[in-house]
A and B are shown apart, each in its own frame.
Chain A
Amino acid sequence: MLLYNSAAFFADVKPVDFFTGSQWDPESAKGKYSIAPLLVSTGLVTLGAMLIAVPLGIFTAAFLSELAHPKLKNILKPFIEMLAAIPSVAIGFLGIVLVGPGIAKIFGLANGLNALNGAVLLSVMALPTIITISEDAINAVPQSHREASLALVANKWETLFKVTIPAALPGLIAAVMLGLGRALGETMTVLMATGNAAVLPTGFLDSVRTITATIAIEMGEVPFQTTHYFALFAIAVVLFLITLAINLAGEYFVNRLRKFHA
């Protein structure tokens, strides 16, 4: 159905306009259907979220499994896992009343509903996934690797960065992929907190509208079997292809690394 409906869309709108235009404005008389602003929005929010969540998540995981005192770990872990249980609409709400105004204040903006806000919130949502899976991956590194490294005169930090984390890399990549999938697919939070402006953004401080938010907003009101209706399927296909490509790339890297493990 996805493909059939998108094919119907491309009968109405030339693929060139779809990918190269700069406006998404289905309501106007001419009907402008360009995925570019949505794609850039999605990319911007997801990239921002990953820039925050990946280093933070992996280092938190490394800290929890290698350095933290067991007591501290027992306090922190349930707290982190609880983050995953917060509904996305609640996080979006926090974005509107807390993070958004904060960003507005720091950067001196009229309002803080922009890509940065979305990125911060999505990173919070991706963190539990990334931390939990990364920690498992780091724990799964055999103790003998650490001993080998220490006996070869590495200190604790060198062992962590040069042996333990590289050895856990396939698992860490899986963690990042799952976090990325969470961020890419998230709808409600970004719909609420990023300002919903379907124009080509120029930076993190612009309002954006992601592919998922666009589908969620417009699908309910679009007349059945119109170009606009088909267009929503077409952008869904693009989102699907992106997710697929990311997963395949992840799989490829994981396999390349695996051959160094027993």
Chain B
Amino acid sequence: MDKIKLSAHRLNLHFGKKHVLKNIHIDFPNNKVTSLIGPSGCGKSTLLRSFNRMHDLSPDVKIEGDIQLDGNNIYDKKVSVTAMRKRIGMVFQKPNPLPKSIYENLSYALKLHAFPKNEIPGLIEMALKESYLWDEVKDELKKPAVKLSGGQQQRLCIARTVVLRPEVILMDEPCSALDPISSHKIEELIMSLKSNYTIVIVTHNMQQAQRISDKVAFMYLGELVEFDSSENIFKDPQKELTRNYVNGHFG
């Protein structure tokens, strides 16, 4: 049995009157890639965003139940949101580099955390190398980040998350805005990051989920329908609904 890194218990989430997540129980094993799949609007992204409290920004969201990181509830009043977010990084669907240079995109979080000045360039170089971006940008770190291609921007966003050395990385359809070659690079990157990080990824791409994940969770209309190893979900799902979805009969 794998060590559980992140988990949700009896998680219910309402946007105003709409019940978006219904009594979700899920455990994410340490240093594994878990994919969340399901048709649009089933609550995958909402679930993902509740793992680093991104819903705090939106008014009239009500969250019940708890989410535990190493056994501690991250919604506890005593928990520092920033300390928690340092441990749980997030990569968004659309590459969202800050309107700064490549270098500043990476140094931003480091500076906020008062990392020693002389260590910052080294940490940045390491993160860019891990994200397979270093060779492409090493000579133009001062260039505005928005001048990079979409795929490069997304890898920059991953590098920016990795540079803080989080324990968990949440990815919300990181490849949906990218071409196949860039997607492939991101997938390789995810595979290489797996040994050090617990990765939770939302994806609409069944082949991708199959290629990269150890475990897969299928969600439908706000409920967690089935959660099992990638192999079982794709080859031998227990539920009819899952079978239909992974075989492309609906969704």
A interface residues (Cβ-Cβ under 8 A, vs B): 142, 144-155, 158, 162-163, 166-167, 259-262
Contact = CB atoms under 8 A, between A and B. Distances in A.
B90 interface: yes
28 contacts: A144-B94, A146-B57, A147-B54, A147-B96, A148-B92, A148-B157, A148-B160, A151-B85, A151-B90, A152-B89, A152-B160, A152-B164, A153-B86, A153-B109, A153-B112, A153-B164, A154-B82, A154-B108, A154-B112, A155-B81, A162-B108, A163-B98, A167-B98, A259-B144, A260-B101, A260-B145, A260-B146, A261-B99
A153 B96 contact: no
Contact of A152 (B54, B81, B94, B109): B109
Interface of B: 52, 54, 57, 81-82, 85-86, 89-90, 92, 94, 96-101, 108-109, 112-113, 144-147, 157, 160-161, 164
B92 A145 contact: no
Nearest to A69: B59
Contacts of B94: 144
A148 B112 contact: no
Contacts of B109: 152-154
B85 A167 contact: no
Contacts of A154: 82, 108-109, 112
A147 to B, nearest CB: 6
B175 to A, nearest CB: 17
A151 B108 CA distance: 11
Nearest to B95: A144
A168 to B, nearest CB: 10
Nearest to A168: B99
Given A155-B82, A158-B112, A162-B108, A262 B146 contact: yes
